[in-house]
Amino acid sequence: MKRFWLLTFLFTSSILVNAQTGKLVGVVEDGEFGNPISYANIIIKGTELGAATNSSGKYIMLKIPAGKYDVSCSLYGYYKLTVENVTINENDTTEVNFNLLLDKKLFEKLPLQTQNDMRDIRKDDPGKFANLYYRKSFEYSSGRYIPPDDEADKRSIELFSLDMKAELLGMQYKKANDTEKQQIKLQLEATLKQLISSLEVARKNDVNEIEKRLNDLKKSLDNITNNKNKVIKERIDELLK
């Protein structure tokens, strides 16, 4: 008998908990082109609940406690968008859609041709555009986003621009006819040759800078090793003045 009441209690509790929650669904699209955006992050503020959009730009979140929430959508390369006071009702589905706009400040330092290339990539596949931008920025700028704030990093912008051009040509090739494919393939080969040559120069410069830094460190180490007692005495005198 006790076992029966325990099972009944657990079953009833489960029904009550589920009845107090709702579901949130929606679609995320590019605000300019209307294409679905994959990999966008949907977050319910003030909670640990979140989701990511699929290849169709759709997302779904289950078992959200009933109440009012602010729901935000973000993806690198786009302005973050927040919808306030979204009502989640018990045992019901709420739909919230997002149209994300490009964060143009991120691209204003890039060459115009590169901006156009990236726009074409975004028009074809916004999710791929955001992923490429995020990944390639780090690859060519030692952990900093492109475009960098320092004019000394023009080399990084050049590498980034060439890689974006190659990505666009690859996308165009898949949609081209046989005649166009031959021309695109030649352009892609020329672009990649230029990219590899520029990358080779960049890496040689990096190696030279590292070797110079290493030599400076070796000199510092030799100085410390050969003058330990002197360094200690000078430091003691300095601290005990």
- From 22, 27, 98, select the one nearest 59 (Cα to Cα): 27
pTM: 0.66
Q: Mean of the per-residue pLDDT values for the chain?
A: 85
Half-sphere exposure of 233 (CA within 13 A, CB side): 4
Domains of the chain by start residue, with CATH: 2-100 (2.60.40.1120), 104-214 (no CATH)
pLDDT tens figures, 139-159: 666 545 555 545 446 777 888
Burial readout 105-131 (b: 16 or more C-beta within 10 A, e: otherwise): ebbebbeeebbebbbebbebbbbbbbb
Band of pLDDT at residue 48, cut at 50, 70 and 90: very high
The whole-number pLDDT of residue 160 equals 85
The answer to whether residues 57 and 40 touch, using CB atoms and an 8 Å cutoff, is yes
φ/ψ bin of 143: left (φ > 0), alpha (ψ from -120 to 50), beta (otherwise): left
pLDDT tens figures, 157-210: 888 889 889 999 999 999 999 999 999 999 999 999 999 998 898 888 878 889
